[in-house]
Amino acid sequence: MRRRRFHRGTFVAAGAYNIVWGCYAVLDPQWFFRLTGLPLSNSPQIFATLGMVLGLYGLLYLEVARRPEHGWAAAVVGLTGKVLGPLGLTWLIVTDVWPIDTVVIVITNDLVWWVPFSCYLVDSWPDYRASWRSP
C-alpha cells in the first residue's frame, strides 16, 4: 500500500484522539456548552452518549492502523461522519440555532482529518477492491 506508514500514523492519532475526546465527553458532558456559551444542557447524557460513540470510533481507527489493507470500509464511515457533522453544524449556525463559536467542535473532530482520511481511501482502494475478488 502506498504511504502505509503515514496511514498507520494517521489512524493511530485519530484513534487516540477519539478515545480521549470520547472519555472526556463522558466525564464532563457540559464542557462544550460552557466553552461555546450555549446554555447548559438539560440532558447532558446525550452529549455523553456522543462521547461514547466517538470513543468507539477510536477503536475502529486503531484497527485501521493495525491492518491498513483492510480498513477501507471503516474509514469510509468515519470520513462520511466527518463530512456530515460540519454540514449539520453549518445548518445550525446559519439558522441561528447555535452560535458561530460552536465551529470549534468541527475543526479538530472533522476538518483536520479530511485530507489524511481521503488520501488513505485513495491509497487503500486497490487493496479493498482486490479483497472482494479473493475467495
The answer, yes or no, to whether residue 71 has pLDDT greater than 70, is yes
What is the model's pLDDT at position 125? 83
Question: pLDDT digit string (tens) for 75-127?
Answer: 999 999 999 999 999 999 999 999 998 999 999 899 999 999 999 999 998 76
Q: Write the DSSP string, 70-122.
A: G-HHHHHHHHHHHHHHHHHHHHHHHTTSS-GGGGHHHHHHTGGGHHHHHHHHH
What is the model's pLDDT at position 1? 86
Are 94 and 65 in contact by the 8 Å Cβ rule? The answer is no
Question: pLDDT digit string (tens) for 29-59?
Answer: 999 999 999 999 999 999 999 999 999 999 9
List of residues 6+ apart from 44 with CB closer than 8 A: 29, 30
What band does 133 get if pLDDT is binned at 50, 70 and 90? low
The answer, yes or no, to whether residue 129 has pLDDT greater than 70, is no
Are 118 and 83 in contact by the 8 Å Cβ rule? The answer is no
In terms of phi and psi (left: phi > 0; alpha: psi -120 to 50; beta: otherwise), the region of 37 is left
The answer, yes or no, to whether residue 135 has pLDDT greater than 70, is no
Q: Write the DSSP string, 34-68.
A: HHHTPPPPS-HHHHHHHHHHHHHHHHHHHHHHH-G
Per-domain boundaries in the chain: 4-133
Which residue in 133, 102, 86 sits closest to 39, CA to CA?
102
